[in-house]
Amino acid sequence: MSGEFTLAIGQFIKTCDMKAASVIQGVVQTLGQDAVMATPRETGLLRGAWQIGINQIPTASPMRIDPGGLSTLQSINSDSLAIKAGDIVYVVNNTVYANMVEFGGWRPPAFTPGVAHSYKKGDPPRVRTTGEGFSLQAPAGMARIAVSRLQAEFDSRVAVWTAKGGA
């Protein structure tokens, strides 16, 4: 009898861990989708640079050109399936200019005669910004928008899980 009880407790813990991992995987997938789709897609490099790290912060950028974001989302969704209960998950964008797009301060380069440019004097900047240097495509940021929705997404997934009887 004691062995059966221990087995039942062990199975319950395993089921809870699997359910918790499933909730976190779904939350990470939604967070990734929100961040990717809120990201300006001028060339697709910034949008394609979103990635997740499990128990470590990714230090490199995938250098993926993905204007539509679909390849990036597939990668995030696929990578998220490795998340287990208790893992720490990082959703990051390591492009050198992501912070400026998120928090402002970006200025297009000035036209300098005699220096090779991909635009001519008088051309408008390719990346449109507000006066504070925010992208017009994402004036409220990318990550900040995604994070603002995070708690509601988590609460919703936990509510569904508990409505189904938890474990």
**CA–CA distance from 115 to each of 109, 110, 112, 118 (Å)?**
11, 11, 6, 10
Decide: pTM greater than 0.75: yes
What is the predicted pLDDT for the residue at 117?
45
The residue behind tokens 């990714």 is: 58
Burial class (CB in 10 A: 0-12, 13-18, 19+), 69: buried
Question: How many Cα neighbours within 13 Å face the side chain of 63?
Answer: 1
- State the sign of the Cα–Cα–Cα–Cα dihedral 146, 150, 152, 157: positive
What is the predicted pLDDT for the residue at 29?
97
Contact 10, 152 (CB under 8 A): no
What is the predicted pLDDT for the residue at 46?
93
In single-letter form, the type of residue at position 43 comes to: T
* CA–CA separation, 93 and 134 (whole Å): 17
What is the predicted pLDDT for the residue at 102?
86
| Chunked mean pLDDT (size 10), the chain, 167 residues | 70 85 95 95 92 96 94 98 96 90 68 51 55 70 89 90 73
What is the predicted pLDDT for the residue at 52?
97
Q: Which helix (H) or strand (E) holds 64?
A: none
What is the predicted pLDDT for the residue at 27?
95
